[in-house]
Structure 1
Amino acid sequence: MTGFMSKNPRLVRVALGFLLASVAACTTLRQPQPPAGEEEGAVTTPYAPPAAQKPPRPVPAAGEKEQLAPALMYDILLGEIAGQRGRLDVATRAYVEAARYTNDPRVAERALKIAVFAKDQERALAAARRWVALEPDNKEARQSLAALALRSGLQDEALENIEYLIEHGEATPAQTYQSLLGLLVREPDSEQTLALMEKLVARHPQDPDAHFAYARLAAHARQWPVAEREVETALELRPDWVAALVLRAQIQLRQGNKELAHRQMVEALQRQPDDTELRAAYARLLVDLDDLEGARQQYRKLVRKQPDNGQFVYSLALLSLEAGKLDTSEKLFKRLLKLGYQVQQAYYYLGAIAEERNDRKNAIRWYSRIGKGEHWLEAQIRIAKLEADAGRIKTARARLQKLRQAQPQNARRLLLVEGSILSGIDWNEEAFQLYSRYLESHPDDADVLYARALVAESLDRLDIAEQDLLRILKADPDNARALNALGYTLADRTNRYDEALLYIQKAMEKTPDDPAVIDSMGWVQFKLGNLDKARE
């Protein structure tokens, strides 16, 4: 049976995209993401130290912690007013000066944030040092100073602050190294961060967490020999450590050593067959290797062991859908509804399953339950197409037109959907007028020009069809779709066969494996009387 999702490209992308994203989310090679809520262009720049990524604590008011001396009050007020007026240079100078002669760490923290926002690294470093001096046990202060020192080439100072966190921090060593990685992968100079990590590991040669973190950092920098060496050392110090076993396989996979990555995971799983985390990692690896049936079998085992694990159920549902097992996938998606996991996605795929069964009523019912979000627009388009298939053309068009008004950013896509519905029932004149109205304000839209060219050819308006396709090619001479359409039209509807051949040959140069182009080449060769070439 042909895989259900192979007949539904949109579903293939969504489903496999999810599973491959799961691989990325669970692999230890991924770059730690910035905290939720960051705003682009604010102090949370890609290389901002940790303290610059959190809301500032309020600066002290008079009578709080210490009395504000006139000079201190002046600097704080000057800093705030200058900041509000966009004078970051003045604000930075004022706050860093205030931090020098107050013992309140909040002022130093505020000075650091403003200096980072102003991209004043020298003053940011001074503020971070002052903050650490006032709050030596503050994790964010130490991390910020380490990041700024590293960026300033002060590797020893960075290392000392990291060491302090490892020795005195409340977090476990593993958590501290995780935080450190989040810091280091943001730094643009990977050579310097690796050198720092090498020194840190040299101080803790028997700490598997240190070697593991070094392996991850090296993998992020694509320094594969270092990554391989360090993950092996981590495993020597802590045998059968699942996270390290997964990382080791991922390092091989990233280098293209698929067979080795697979063998390593199989051997690890043979030693620890009951480890759920390891089996889940193996299942994700199989998806990455395009062994979807193998991955499905692994997820079946995982679901049997943990029937209420939403991620496992969802993954198995998607893989069952790809395998064409509609009944199984339907049951699994309904289980997700009971679990309250990936509910919107479950509605979408249940609608798709019903649609595959030609059950329009239930397909529309499931699609209609989808709320605003990832699948909402796609579901509305599917509903419109189902309404049109049921002969409710007016209802379908009204839905699409309402959507165009509500979502102008998707207007072109929705217009093309409406046009395809109209041309699909041979309402070519209506489709032609629809496209023409849009092109009055968007005359160079290649997709709409192409769509109008096709319906124009159906209406025997070959001059407009040719005109639209040539307009596309004027802007994009290598547009294979337009080249092929123009060549085929000239071969099929005119006697300009030599000209048609040139267009189709150029299209074939761009997309030699496209069935539509191959078909056009056969047709034009037939028209030219080259029967042997036509058969080829």
Structure 2
Amino acid sequence: MRKLFPAVISSACCAMRGCTINPRFFASKYVKPYYLLICLPVQLSTPQQLFVKLKPNLKSNLKPLGAFKPFTALGKNVVATTLTLASLLFSPAVFSAGANFASASQSVNQSLSQPSAVVSTQPSLYAILMAEFAADRGRIDQALATYKQQSFLADAAPVFERALGLSLQNEPPQLSLAFANAWQQQNPDHVPAIFYVTHLALKAHEYELAGEKLNQILQYDPDADLSQILIGIYPTETRDQAELLATLNRLDIKNNPSLLVMKAGLLLQFQQPKAALVAINRALKTNPKSPAFLTLKADILQALSPSNQVIAFIAQARKTVPDNKALFVYQIRYMLKQGKSAQVWQQLNARANQQFLADEEIKLLAALVGIDLKKYAAADRLLKALIASPNFKDQANYYLAVSAERQNLLNDAIGYYGKVMQPDLVLKARQQQIDLLISQSRFEEAIASSVKLREQFDSFAPQSYIMQANILQKNNQTAQALALLNSAQTNLPNNTDILFAKVLLLPDDDYASKLRLLKELIRLAPANVDYQLEYAQTLVNLKQNNEEVTALLTALINDKEVGLKARQILSQQALHQSDNSAVISLLSDNFDIVPDVISGLLLQQAYLNLGNQKEAARINQILVNELGYQPENLQ
């Protein structure tokens, strides 16, 4: 399938295929360029072959070129006929009977560049055809050069659009912007080009130029729909966002809703919700029923008002557009975020919202709320209705398994987990299935599940080997588990997941093997925090390299995810060094807020070493009464 724009080619193809449609049919219609999809025969690979096919069908239709209109401005129709192309192709300066594509290209380029008694100020159909053949053969530079040159001739808006399209596909944004801006300056009355330049300037973060063009658009029409311009141009860098906001502040936006909404969003992002609220309210005066505008206002209100006021606003907004799915989902998700699951369940099942419950996405959401509220029968009905959906069947099976597991229907859960095949869910589902099988001592079935995973998904082979090794270990077959991982490592060398699984399977007293593997892991992935923590723990167990441990873990003690683990390892090292005060300094504050067994045991030992029986007993009471730990007798 090749895309060749002039309508003349379509008539040629009819002639080549033996279609009964008369080529004059195309000459009698106004056809937009660039949008005709045609099937050219594979053997038709040069304009010479096209010429040979056209000749017997078009010879009788020859008329003077002046009888047909040239390209007109963008947005208008174009008269493109078989007769025009025939006249061009019969020109002796262009083709001889035995010319090939290369010589034809050279010939036409020479004819275009040499002075002529009659110089056309309008685009040459033949030059454009040659450019399209060049693009089709991957000679993009040649195609772009011809298209751009032709686009600066008179009445060449369609050629400009094709040139810009090729440029956007094959050139950096700055080059596309420079071309579009140069063309627009030569054609200042061509309003669509101003939109193109504005979009490209915003996308290239050229906000001064974008502001200039936006002002031009607003002068033409203060209420112009700018939504298409703004698609995909929102900057990701804070500096660019600030520059865009400054540009918008300099513009005379008046009440243009598109720009007001963008300004409101940026103001909210820069922690200016009051100013954002003013902007969004102005936009809503122009378009009070826009769901996107209403949800943005709800976002802004979240930064200014209590949750009950936000909920009230969303409820009122929904009355404005009661049939809008996006606003309904926004309402449901916000209420869930506020912990109002019971009210959400009522909303989902209300008679007025039954139309939404027919939607698959909302049906899944309702099922999850039902599971959370232990309304398992209703949730299961919703999920079973989704099993026939190609888009939601895997999620339906996964959450049916979750529902069954919570109801202690373990065999049902095992079956549902096994049916999940969605790549982003299958790993978690298969692990859940294996855990349930292990809980019932069904080790052979668990191993079969892990093997099946790597047979079905090559990309999950490392994880499946690790799962299988863990199954073997839990069945007291640690040696076989290590042998399996060694075999997997042979097939998947330098796979860090398999190497780390080996570290965790090695006996606690095999420190030499652990250190060797951990050093290799840190070499392969020096930024991996899990490897750093395990390496530090191994060094502490060996009572080695205290300074290295301190340097490694000090950078992690304030990390939200691993900070507690880092402090616990440092505390173990401090106990080895009889630095009991360091243990208390590292762990006591966190333990008083969120107690845990490991921190409690370390603190208890530090207080005992200091002879502080009172604090040791207090820690012991927390361990026993709050954490369910069964301690040995205090010494």
TM-score with structure 1 setting the length = 0.66
Give the distance between the partners of 2:497 and 2:251, measured in 1 at CA: 56
| SS state at 2:35 partner | coil
Instruction: Name the counterpart of 1:76.
Output: 128
Distance 1:234 1:440, change over 3 A: same
Instruction: Name the counterpart of 2:14.
Output: none
CA contact (8 A) 1:75 1:97 kept: no
Q: Which moved more, 1:347-356 or 1:226-235?
A: 226-235
Distance 1:320 1:59, change over 3 A: closer
Structure 1 residue 431, shift from structure 2 partner:
1.0
CA contact (8 A) 2:298 2:313 kept: no
Distance 1:104 1:221, change over 3 A: farther
Instruction: Name the counterpart of 1:90.
Output: 142
| SS state at 1:306 partner | helix
Distance 1:375 1:187, change over 3 A: closer
| SS state at 1:426 partner | coil
Match of 2:564 among 484, 498, 513: 513
After superposition, the C-alpha distances for 1:163-188 in whole angstroms (9 at most, x for unaligned) are 65777xxxxx6xx3432432653698
Instruction: Name the counterpart of 2:354.
Output: 307
CA contact (8 A) 1:318 1:329 kept: yes
* Mapping 1:280-359, distance limit 5 Å: 280-287=329-336, 290-291=337-338, 293-304=339-350, 305-309=352-356, 310=359, 311-323=361-373, 325-337=375-387, 342-359=392-409
Give the distance between the partners of 2:37 and 2:187, measured in 1 at CA: 13
Structure 1 residue 351, shift from structure 2 partner:
1.7
Structure 1 residue 433, shift from structure 2 partner:
0.9
Instruction: Name the counterpart of 1:99.
Output: 151
Give the distance between the partners of 2:404 and 2:547, measured in 1 at CA: 44
Instruction: Name the counterpart of 1:114.
Output: 166
How many matched pairs?
Answer: 457
CA contact (8 A) 2:341 2:373 kept: no
Match of 1:65 among 80, 102, 122: 80
Distance 1:248 1:105, change over 3 A: same
Give the distance between the partners of 1:477 and 1:144, measured in 2 at CA: 46
Give the distance between the partners of 2:249 and 2:440, measured in 1 at CA: 64
Instruction: Name the counterpart of 1:265.
Output: 310
Q: Where is the helix percentage greater, Structure 1 or Structure 2?
A: 1
Match of 1:124 among 180, 196, 210: 180
Structure 1 residue 94, shift from structure 2 partner:
0.7
Determine whether 1:456 maps to 2:471: no
Structure 1 residue 246, shift from structure 2 partner:
3.1
Residue type at the aligned position of 1:65: A
CA contact (8 A) 1:99 1:130 kept: no
CA contact (8 A) 2:198 2:229 kept: no
Give the distance between the partners of 2:134 and 2:290, measured in 1 at CA: 53
After superposition, the C-alpha distances for 1:493-531 in whole angstroms (9 at most, x for unaligned) are x8x568799959948836343498675566678889838
Residue type at the aligned position of 2:340: G
Distance 1:371 1:457, change over 3 A: closer
Distance 1:93 1:483, change over 3 A: closer
Distance 1:441 1:242, change over 3 A: closer
Distance 1:377 1:308, change over 3 A: farther
* Mapping 1:153-192, distance limit 5 Å: 153=209, 155-161=211-217, 176-182=225-231, 184-185=233-234, 190=241, 191=243
Structure 1 residue 224, shift from structure 2 partner:
5.1
Larger radius of gyration between Structure 1 and Structure 2: 2
Distance 1:534 1:127, change over 3 A: farther
Distance 1:461 1:192, change over 3 A: closer
Residue type at the aligned position of 2:227: Q
CA contact (8 A) 1:351 1:365 kept: yes
After superposition, the C-alpha distances for 1:239-280 in whole angstroms (9 at most, x for unaligned) are 798654532231354xxx3x6262541442575685656665
Residue type at the aligned position of 2:609: N
Give the distance between the partners of 1:201 and 1:243, measured in 2 at CA: 19
Query: Identity percentage over the alignment?
Result: 20
After superposition, the C-alpha distances for 1:303-357 in whole angstroms (9 at most, x for unaligned) are 3132342344332322343455544533442354588873331221002222344
Distance 1:452 1:249, change over 3 A: same
Instruction: Name the counterpart of 1:366.
Output: 416
Structure 1 residue 97, shift from structure 2 partner:
1.7
Give the distance between the partners of 1:147 and 1:396, measured in 2 at CA: 56
Residue type at the aligned position of 1:231: I
Instruction: Name the counterpart of 1:404.
Output: 454
Distance 1:455 1:476, change over 3 A: same
Match of 2:481 among 419, 423, 431: 431
Determine whether 1:418 maps to 2:473: no
Residue type at the aligned position of 1:408: D
Distance 1:405 1:350, change over 3 A: closer
Unmatched segments (≥5 aa) in structure 1:
1-54, 168-172
After superposition, the C-alpha distances for 1:363-392 in whole angstroms (9 at most, x for unaligned) are 244334445454344434444555555555
Distance 1:342 1:87, change over 3 A: same
Distance 1:162 1:234, change over 3 A: closer
CA contact (8 A) 2:199 2:229 kept: no
Instruction: Name the counterpart of 1:51.
Output: none
Give the distance between the partners of 1:131 and 1:373, measured in 2 at CA: 51
CA contact (8 A) 1:336 1:343 kept: yes
Give the distance between the partners of 2:366 and 2:37, measured in 1 at CA: 52
| SS state at 1:153 partner | helix
After superposition, the C-alpha distances for 1:443-491 in whole angstroms (9 at most, x for unaligned) are 6544333322232217x64542343345445666786645665676788
CA contact (8 A) 1:280 1:298 kept: no
Instruction: Name the counterpart of 1:231.
Output: 280
Instruction: Name the counterpart of 1:45.
Output: none
CA contact (8 A) 1:240 1:268 kept: no
Instruction: Name the counterpart of 1:16.
Output: none
After superposition, the C-alpha distances for 1:120-172 in whole angstroms (9 at most, x for unaligned) are 23323355678997xx68x6x663243246648264444444665777xxxxx
CA contact (8 A) 2:257 2:286 kept: yes
| SS state at 2:507 partner | helix
